[in-house]
């Protein structure tokens, strides 16, 4: 068994729980405070869009603060995934680097839209059309994550499929590869939101929102679980 | 054994091509005029399409030899999707 | 005969997951059509049925090549297997070319996504499917390269069969899309 970087098991565990706590706080801020779940319809007229930000303005802005505190949760989990990937790679761990870099930059799709929601809510009395621009920018940014996430998933898929026997000490069982591959295939539905304002392909529709969000949630839970399980085994094995 | 299986694939393909041509004669521009009823055209066209899907599943994907659970899932998808499409076409439930 | 799972259990999560998503799309398409039958029929008249038929035949044929290719891999035939996958890939390229031709014809007529709900659905369904064709083509390209050497590890056989099943799914989804978009009256 080739041994990659020997990062501390405790440190990796801490980062996983940091990511889980961040995701939980983000979900609270997004669902309960910002209340963009389910998303507002993509064809909402400007005056109603402005109302989304001006009504309950203080609650909304506190939600933005909480969202910004927690919105980077993808970074620590990506680092741990990379460390675990590097364990299995030979030489320079290029798949681990690709995953870690795209995961860290990809977190921008989570926290930057929240910041723009804060900008939209910052001046509730500006003309509604101006708020609409920030609104549309932030939502399309939030939904079309295609530039980075597929590359992040690619390395994970590769590692899940590159080993013959499922290895208890590895965080990448075969089924995780298929789950990740499904997420990769479905991530192509997101950019359709640029073309449609109503129906299943708009940013509040099945393809750009509901399926990718459900799959991301399932994937995040799954990989946290496999990582923690692998770390437990690695600690027991004294690796 | 291998040869027999290969023949099965070829037979399925010939059948698939034949029913594709048949369904394209039935459906599409002016099909209703030829058969006298748009609903009949739709039932035939969808029925043929799902029969083709079943052939691809059970022969090309080799689900015919898969465990029962997988075949049941495939059957449920076929029945559920075809049933839903026909129900919606005929306006069941508004 | 002992039942066996084609490929690996995991690929069926992906395949039936995708098929369920598409089934929802198909049902929503017919639901939208139900509200505007005349408009959808007028839109359908703009499509070239010949291209739809040719594309269906191309995908059916590619599926045959891929199924035979997987068969050859199982028999350890590293001469014919890559050729069969390459033939499947050629059919896929033909499909993409015809699809591009059909898009170009519609654009030349001034028709785009926003022209009518029918075309919104047409472009969305076909583009989404085209994305699957491209992913499947990447898999077929990989198979063409990998199977030039005999595959002996069970993992590689399972992955080959899984990739083949993904390609059959691409074929199978198009069969329904073809019926719904080009043929339903």
The yes-or-no verdict on residue A226 having pLDDT over 60 is yes
In a domain, B29, yes or no: yes
Which residues have C-beta within 8 Å of that of residue C60, sequence separation ≥ 6?
A: B13, B16, B17, B20, C171
Q: In the prediction, which pLDDT does A188 show?
A: 82
Q: C27 to chain A nearest CA, in Å?
A: 11
Cβ separation C183–B28 shorter than 8 A = yes
Please indicate whether, in this complex, the C-beta atoms of A178 and C153 are within 8 angstroms of each other: no
What pLDDT, on the 0 to 100 scale, is given for residue B92?
A: 75
Query: Model confidence at B1, in pLDDT bands (50, 70, 90)?
Result: very low
Answer yes or no: are the C-beta atoms of A34 and A64 closer than 8 Å.
yes
Residues of C in contact with B56 (CB under 8 A): 63, 168, 171-172, 175
Residue C24 burial (C-beta neighbours within 10 Å; 0-12, 13-18, 19+): middle
Looking at CATH, the fold of the domain delimited by C25-183 is given as 1.20.120
Would an 8 Å CB–CB cutoff place C13 in contact with chain B?
Answer: no
A206 near C CB under 8 A:
yes
Q: A40 in a domain, yes or no?
A: yes
Record the pTM.
Answer: 0.91
Determine if residue A56 is left, alpha or beta; phi over 0 gives left, psi from -120 to 50 gives alpha, anything else beta.
Answer: left
Q: What value does the mean pLDDT take over residues A180-194? A: 90
φ/ψ of A183, rounded to 5, equals -60, -40
Nearest to B49 among C19, C45, C176 (CB): C176
Residue A156 in any domain: the answer is yes
- Look at residue A187 and tell me if it is in a domain: yes
Measure the CA–CA gap between B27 and C81, rounded to whole angstroms. Answer: 37
A84 near A230, Cβ under 8 Å? yes
Mean pLDDT of A26-53: 96
CA-based nearest distance C52→chain B, Å: 9
pLDDT of residue A106: 94
**Residue A149 confidence (pLDDT) above 60:** yes
Q: Which structural domain range is residue A130 located in? A: 9-236
Q: What pLDDT, on the 0 to 100 scale, is given for residue A167?
A: 65
What are chain C's partners, defined as 3 or more CB pairs within 8 angstroms? A, B
Question: Quick one: pLDDT at residue A1?
Answer: 45
- Kind and range of the H or E element at A213? helix A211-236
Residue A4 token pair? 């990659």
pLDDT at C185 over 90: no
Residue found under tokens 């839109």: C43
C153: pLDDT strictly greater than 50? yes
The answer as to whether A2 is a domain residue is: no
Distance (Å, whole) CA C181 – CA A148: 33
pLDDT over 60 (residue A119): yes
Q: What is the dihedral of CA C139, C145, C149, C153, to 10 degrees?
A: -30
- What percent of chain A has a predicted confidence (pLDDT) above 90? 81
Task: Please tell me the total count of domains within chain A.
Answer: 1
> Chain C: residue nearest B79 by CA?
C23
3-class secondary structure, A160: helix
Per DSSP, the three-state class of C78 is: coil
User: B35, B38, B85: which to substitute to probe chain C, counting the most C Cβ within 10 Å?
Assistant: B85
What pLDDT was estimated at residue B5? Answer: 54
Interchain CB distance below 8 Å, C49 and B9: no
CA C112 centroid distance within chain: 23
CB contact under 8 A, C21 and A164: no
Surface-to-core class of residue A37, CB atoms within 10 Å of its CB (0-12 exposed, 13-18 middle, 19+ buried) = exposed
Give the residue-averaged pLDDT of A120-127. Answer: 96
Average pLDDT over residues B34-48: 89
Question: A192 at the C interface (CB within 8 A)?
Answer: yes
Would you state the structure tokens that stand for residue C166, as one six-digit string?
């993904």
- The interface pTM score, or ipTM, of the predicted complex is 0.94
Which of B20, B49, B52 lies at the smallest CB-CB distance from C53?
B20
Q: Which of B27, B62, B68 sits opposite C185 (nearest CB)?
A: B27
Q: Based on the number of CB atoms within 10 Å of its own CB, is C79 exposed (0-12), middle (13-18) or buried (19 or more)?
A: exposed
- Tens digits of residue pLDDT in B14-33: 999 999 999 998 887 666 66
A1 in a structural domain = no
Instruction: Quote the number of domains for chain B.
Output: 1
Q: Please indicate, yes or no, if residue B82 is contained in any of the structural domains.
A: yes
The whole-number average pLDDT for the span A181-207 is 91
Q: What is the mean pLDDT of residues C134-139?
A: 96
Question: Would an 8 Å CB–CB cutoff place A194 in contact with chain C?
Answer: no
Name the region of B28 (left: φ>0; alpha: ψ -120 to 50; beta: rest): left
Task: Answer yes or no: do C183 and B2 touch at CB < 8 A.
Answer: no
Please indicate whether chains C and A are in contact, defined as at least 3 beta carbon pairs under 8 Å: yes
Residue at B94 is within a domain: no
Q: Is B5 exposed, middle or buried (0-12, 13-18, 19+ CB in 10 A)?
A: middle
Residues C58-76 pLDDT 10s = 999 999 999 999 999 999 9
Determine the residue among C43, C57, C59, C67 to mutate to test chain B binding: the one whose Cβ has the most chain B Cβ atoms within 10 Å: C67
Tens of pLDDT, residue by residue over C3-58, are 899 999 999 999 999 999 999 999 999 999 999 999 999 999 999 999 999 999 99
**How big is the CA angle at A231 (ends A227 and A236), to the nearest 5 degrees?**
155
**Residue B2: predicted pLDDT:** 53
pLDDT tens column, C74-102: 999 999 999 999 999 999 999 999 999 99
**Cβ atoms of residues A194 and C28 within 8 Å:** no
What is the rounded CA–CA span in Å between residue A136 and residue C93?
A: 36
Q: What is the residue-wise DSSP string for B43-80?
A: HHHHHHHHHHHHHIIIIIS-GGGS-HHHHHHHHHHHHH
Which chain A residues touch C132 with a CB distance below 8 Å?
185
* Interface contact flag, B70 C5, Cβ < 8 Å: yes
Q: What is the average pLDDT value for chain A, to the nearest integer? A: 92
CA C9 to the chain's CA centroid: 21
Q: How far is C106 from chain B (nearest CA, A)?
A: 17
Chain B and chain C share a number of CB contacts under 8 A equal to: 137
Q: Which residues does B3 contact at the CB level (< 8 Å), separation at least 6?
A: none
Domain range for B52: 2-89
**B94 pLDDT above the threshold of 60:** no
Shortest distance between the Cα of A77 and any Cα of chain C, in A, equals 24
**Two structure tokens written together for A90:** 């030979």
Chains B and A touch (3+ CB pairs under 8 A): no
Structural domain spans, chain C:
25-183
Looking at chain B, the number of H-run helices and the number of E-run strands are 4, 0
In this prediction, residue B30 carries a pLDDT of 67
């Amino acid at each position: 068994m080739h041994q990659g970087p020997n990062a501390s098991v405790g440190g990796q565990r801490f980062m996983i729980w940091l990511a889980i706590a961040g995701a939980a706080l983000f979900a609270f801020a997004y669902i309960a405070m910002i209340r963009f779940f389910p998303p507002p319809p993509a064809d909402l007229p400007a005056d109603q869009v402005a109302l989304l930000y001006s009504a309950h303005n203080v609650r909304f802005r506190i939600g933005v603060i909480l969202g910004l505190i927690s919105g980077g949760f993808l970074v620590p989990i990506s680092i741990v995934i990379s460390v675990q990937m590097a364990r299995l790679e030979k030489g320079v761990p290029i798949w681990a680097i690709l995953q870690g870099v795209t995961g860290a930059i990809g977190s921008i799709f989570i926290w930057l839209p929240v910041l723009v929601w804060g900008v939209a809510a910052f001046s509730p009395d500006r003309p509604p059309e101006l708020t609409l621009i920030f609104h549309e920018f932030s939502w399309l940014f939030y939904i079309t994550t295609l530039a980075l996430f597929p590359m992040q998933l690619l390395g994970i898929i590769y590692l899940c499929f590159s080993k013959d026997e499922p290895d208890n000490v590895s965080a990448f069982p075969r089924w995780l590869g298929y789950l990740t591959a499904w997420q990769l295939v479905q991530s192509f539905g997101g950019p359709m939101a640029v073309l449609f304002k109503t129906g299943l392909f708009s940013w509040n529709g099945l393809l750009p929102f509901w399926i990718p969000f459900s799959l991301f949630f399932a994937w995040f839970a799954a990989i946290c679980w496999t990582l923690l399980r692998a770390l437990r085994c690695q600690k027991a094995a004294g690796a | 054994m291998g040869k027999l299986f290969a023949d099965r694939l070829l037979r399925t393909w010939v059948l698939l091509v034949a029913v594709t041509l048949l369904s394209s004669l039935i459906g599409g521009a002016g099909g209703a005029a030829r058969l006298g009823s748009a609903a009949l055209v739709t039932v035939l066209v969808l029925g043929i399409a799902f029969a083709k899907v079943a052939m691809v599943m059970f022969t090309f994907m080799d689900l015919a030899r898969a465990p029962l659970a997988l075949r049941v899932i495939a059957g449920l998808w076929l029945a559920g999707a075809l049933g839903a499409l026909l129900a919606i076409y005929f306006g069941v439930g508004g | 005969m002992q039942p066996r799972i084609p490929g690996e259990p995991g690929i069926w999560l992906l395949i039936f997951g995708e098929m369920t998503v598409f089934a929802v799309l198909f049902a929503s398409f017919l639901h939208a059509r139900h509200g505007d039958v005349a408009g959808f029929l007028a839109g359908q008249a703009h499509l070239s049925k010949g291209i739809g038929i040719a594309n269906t035949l191309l995908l059916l044929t590619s599926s045959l090549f891929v199924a035979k290719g997987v068969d050859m891999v199982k028999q350890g035939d590293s001469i014919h297997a890559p050729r069969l996958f390459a033939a499947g890939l050629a059919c896929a390229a033909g499909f993409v070319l015809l699809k591009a031709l059909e898009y170009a014809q519609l654009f030349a007529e001034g028709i785009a996504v926003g022209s009518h709900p029918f075309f919104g659905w047409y472009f969305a369904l076909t583009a989404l499917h085209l994305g699957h064709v491209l992913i499947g083509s990447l898999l077929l390209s990989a198979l063409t390269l990998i199977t030039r050497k005999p595959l002996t590890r069970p993992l590689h056989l399972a992955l080959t069969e899984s990739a083949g099943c993904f390609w059959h799914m691409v074929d199978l989804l198009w069969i329904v899309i073809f019926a719904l978009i080009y043929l339903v009256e």
